[in-house]
A and B are shown apart, each in its own frame.
Chain A
Amino acid sequence: MSISLEEAARDLRALAATATATVRARPDLARVAQLGGLEAGRSGGGTGGSGGLTAREREVLRLVAAGRTNREIAAELVISEHTVARHLQNMFLKLGLSSRAAATAWAYEHGVI
């Protein structure tokens, strides 16, 4: 039995619909993006709570606060160093921070450790 390209396209569409049916954006997605984007440059990490960090960002932050280098963090989380740097940059923007030391202080103050 052989299927046509049209059938393959139809099957793929159906599969994609089922696969993503339960995928939902975080309810605070807009707020998170605004913290980093619209409010970029406004200093002071007075955003409270988790500061709109994603789970992955909190993981990276925990490791930064433990004194790990980007390379060590990349190896531990099985992601590239570039991705670690991107997570850090996004966090700095969101939290209005400018250094790893400030991020570490923020992590302690906000109980991320």
Chain B
Amino acid sequence: VTPAQEQAFTEFVRANGDALLRYARLLVPDNAEAEDLLQTALLRLARHWPRDLSAPTAYLRAALVNLARDRARRRHLVPVPAEPDAGATADGSDHAEAIAARARLDAILGTLPIRQRITVVLRVIEGLSEAETAEVMGCAAGTVKSNLARGLEKVRAAIQATFEETGSR
């Protein structure tokens, strides 16, 4: 690894770290887990870095999807009690509004099986196209379509339920 490659890697992470962590946080309901996931994905990327990846962001999106799926599979086999989000972000600058929003978001996305969750995150929140999502998830476009339809319907039902509970939007 040349110093120039190391420098390029550092700059890439500095430029994209926040956005990638936000994306990771949508895939798992816990800040610390999102950090662990991203770090593991970056370790993998760093090992491939000298090979001059043309699309490091696409590589990381796919790596994070795989890690989130592995995590869901293990949770399924060995049920682990849900850990409430400790709330605070790494630098301590957090707001009650963001903490409340994360709790609501986790409750809504938590009703989705992992594949539907990933599809909804990529298509609806990250704004990827159907083809891009299919590539990241390593599945057919039709699978993206059906996972999105089912997932979004569950999201709609969950949002609807909270409205009816609170009586307002």
Contacts and interface: CB of A to CB of B under 8 A. Distances in A.
Given A1-B163, A3-B159, A82-B74, A37 B26 contact: no
Interface in B39-60: 39-40, 42-47, 49-50
Q: Is the interface of B mostly helix, strand, loop or mixed?
A: helix
B9 A54 contact: no
Interface range, A side? 35 or more
Contact of A37 (B17, B46, B81): B46
Q: Is the interface of A mostly helix, strand, loop or mixed?
A: helix
Nearest to B158: A8
A1 to B, nearest CB: 7
Interface string B74-100: 110010110100000111011101100
Given A3-B159, A30-B13, A16 B89 contact: no
Contact of B40 (A8, A13, A19, A86): A86
Given A31-B10, A86-B40, 13 more contacts: A3-B159, A3-B163, A8-B152, A12-B108, A20-B98, A23-B21, A23-B31, A24-B91, A24-B93, A30-B42, A33-B46, A34-B46, A55-B32
